[in-house]
Structure 1
Amino acid sequence: MSSGLQKTLGCGCSAVLAVVIVISFVGWALSLMDNVAPSRQLEQIPADVPPARGEVVPEIDIEAAGRTSQHLGFWAEPIAIDTGISPQALMAYGNAELVARKLWPNCNIAWTTLAGIGQIETRHGTYNGKLFGGSSLDENGYADPPIVGVPLDGSPGLAEIPDSDGGKWDGDTQFDRAVGPMQFIPESWARLGLDANGDGEANPNQIDDAALSAANLLCSAGGDLSTPEGWTTAVHSYNMSNQYLLDVRDAAASYALRQPAI
């Protein structure tokens, strides 16, 4: 037998063995699946505008010292399991709804709308645009690492917004960049940013501050978000895109059903 033929037969045997191993593994895996509970069947998302309000946010003392959102942990944790939103983000959205109810009583903003925007902007402080190494919200509600967008330098598809904060929030002294879990431009943050975690500073990287400031933006633009017109105007103030509006609506409606955004 020639050495060439031996090599050929050797490779053939290896290939056959590999196929046998794969088939065996697949069979073993399928046998295990018989004992696994079926995946959750998600409900169809309603097309209502505005989307439903979702689980009622319980009353807490929003004027207490410190980070009041933490008093919503008992409410957020079971919803987090069902929706895939972190408790840190859910507490911030719920807290923002309660504070907005006092500051802008005619706005009627719901935490689900804020969560819809948080999903599309940064997946609740976890998407930072990098292929490897996403962000997460730490125990104090800060995105780690901080989430900073591309320079708004007038490139195709981008507005041109010169630096407005000396690079304080975005690290860019030439152009503004969107910052934090709710992706605020520093120029907008200077007008709309609010302190919600009780540390005396409005910081776009902190989810409580970012969520309440997003409510400020939406309520200022839309008026009454319980109406289709008000909700549409408010969301368009965040991003003048009909696809963006539909994406936010669908995410918010899914969260109202206590299920992940589809």
Structure 2
Amino acid sequence: MAAALVTLVIAGCGAGPELPPIPEGIPPGPGAVIPVIDLDGPGRTALQLRNWASEQSGTGISSVALEAYGYAAAVMGRAKPECGIGWTTIAGIASVESRHGTHGRSGLDDDGTVRPPIVGIALDGSPGVALIRDTDGGALDGDDVNDRAVGPLQFIPETWKRWGVDANGDGVADPQNIDDAALTAARYLCASGGDLTSEPGWQKALLTYNQSNSYLLTVRHRAAAYSVGRRV
């Protein structure tokens, strides 16, 4: 009897709570409901979501990044309610693109700015790489020969010029700020896919963001994991 009890105790020591399964299907779930906040408040209004973001700690995403994703989804919920974009989709993309602003040696400041800046490889037409000549004189990416994707959501300068928006109230649309980048991504996705609560709309939006089926499936998997509070 004593030996059996010891065995049960030892077996139970390493067992943690059972994780929920990652849901299948497209689109991924919207995740934890975003509380009502003052979307037009002064300064970095995404900060109002700090308590909500802290409750999503199981995802492994920093509070600053989660605040940005939640705020972007909330803004689009008011501006384009027919889009229905979830914060989980934005998070899934940011995970793939930059590990939520932590690619390489980079990290997020409290105001959402990525330091040091994240700059991708030169889009110079090398094998497996698109050819995009410089469109901004190197202003955003430091390259006046070819464009490079920049920031935590990896926008090329030409796309940022058209879609970039200031989301943190500092008067500047900065692709290296996760608030600005998340809301810009949400606007772009909604314009590209229309109804992101439908499978065709979500797929169209993701394939417009990156024309790769494997990319789409990876984003879907990570977004679905976040929708049930799991980290990936």
| TM-score bracket for the superposition, by shorter chain length | over 0.9
- How far apart are residue 44 of structure 1 and its match? 2.4
CA distance in 2, matches of 1:37, 1:127: 31
Counterpart code for 1:114 = I
Task: Answer yes or no: is 1:148 the counterpart of 2:92.
Answer: no
Q: Determine the structure 1 residue equivalent to 2:53.
A: 76
- How far apart are residue 47 of structure 1 and its match? 1.5
- How far apart are residue 205 of structure 1 and its match? 0.2
Counterpart code for 1:161 = I
- How far apart are residue 166 of structure 1 and its match? 1.3
- How far apart are residue 38 of structure 1 and its match? 2.9
Identity %: 52
Counterpart code for 2:211 = M
Task: Answer yes or no: is 1:255 the counterpart of 2:226.
Answer: yes
- How far apart are residue 165 of structure 1 and its match? 1.2
Q: Determine the structure 2 residue equivalent to 1:168.
A: 139
Task: Look at both structures and tell me which one has the larger radius of gyration over its CA atoms.
Answer: 1
Q: Determine the structure 2 residue equivalent to 1:214.
A: 185
CA distance in 2, matches of 1:160, 1:41: 46
- How far apart are residue 41 of structure 1 and its match? 3.8
User: Which sits farther off after the overlay, 221-230 or 161-170?
Assistant: 161-170
CA distance in 2, matches of 1:37, 1:87: 28
Q: Determine the structure 2 residue equivalent to 1:177.
A: 148
CA distance in 1, matches of 2:12, 2:81: 51
CA distance in 2, matches of 1:95, 1:247: 23
Superposed CA deviations along residues 217-248 of structure 1, whole A, max 9, x for unmatched, are: 10010000000000000011111111111101
CA distance in 1, matches of 2:19, 2:83: 30
Q: Determine the structure 2 residue equivalent to 1:116.
A: 92
Superposed CA deviations along residues 24-50 of structure 1, whole A, max 9, x for unmatched, are: xxxxxxxxx989653454332222110
Alignment gaps of 5+ in structure 2: 1-9
Q: Determine the structure 2 residue equivalent to 1:50.
A: 27
Counterpart code for 2:145 = Q
Indicate the structure whose relative CO is greater, using CA pairs within 8 Å and at least 6 residues apart.
2
Task: Answer yes or no: is 1:237 the counterpart of 2:208.
Answer: yes
Superposed CA deviations along residues 60-114 of structure 1, whole A, max 9, x for unmatched, are: 01111111100100100120x2110000100000000111112222111000000
For the residue of structure 2 that corresponds to 1:96, the secondary structure is: helix
TM-score normalised by L of structure 1? 0.82
RMSD between aligned residues: 1.4
Alignment gaps of 5+ in structure 1: 1-32, 129-133
CA distance in 2, matches of 1:231, 1:173: 34
TM-score normalised by L of structure 2? 0.92
